[in-house]
Amino acid sequence: MSDAQGSPLADAMNRLWAKYLPQMEERVGTLKKAAESLEIGTLTKTGQEQAGADAHKLAGVLGTFGLKEGTELAREAETLYGDSLDGDPAVASRLRAIAEQLRSMIANRP
């Protein structure tokens, strides 16, 4: 089996990654801000819905780029933001951790 590095497909995927990186970073920022807002009790329904939508979009795009763990984390966030959030500190902490893991994963993509 040959190494995919430098192949036309790998080059195309890297160009797409670079193109969509700012959008992915912005979506992770939305997740982080929503988690922080949940922690201090200021998360609005609109903010919750936006975080859920951004998590959904991240789940799809990260899978496209082979980041299976990122897809799983984003799906978890989507599910949590889709639930009725009651200010549970454990949920807020988990959502913040997911946002940080996603940020790190995106920043360190091979």
Judged against a pLDDT cut of 60, whether residue 4 lies above it is answered with no
Which residue is associated with the tokens 């998590």?
55
Judged against a pLDDT cut of 90, whether residue 76 lies above it is answered with yes
| pLDDT tens per residue across span 6-58 | 789 889 999 999 999 999 999 999 999 999 999 999 999 999 999 999 999 99
d(CA 103, CA 58): 11
Most confident of 28-32, 79-83, 85-89: 28-32
Residues 92 and 66 sit within 8 Å (Cβ to Cβ): no
Assessment of whether the complete model's pTM goes beyond 0.85: yes
Longest dimension (CA), the chain: 53
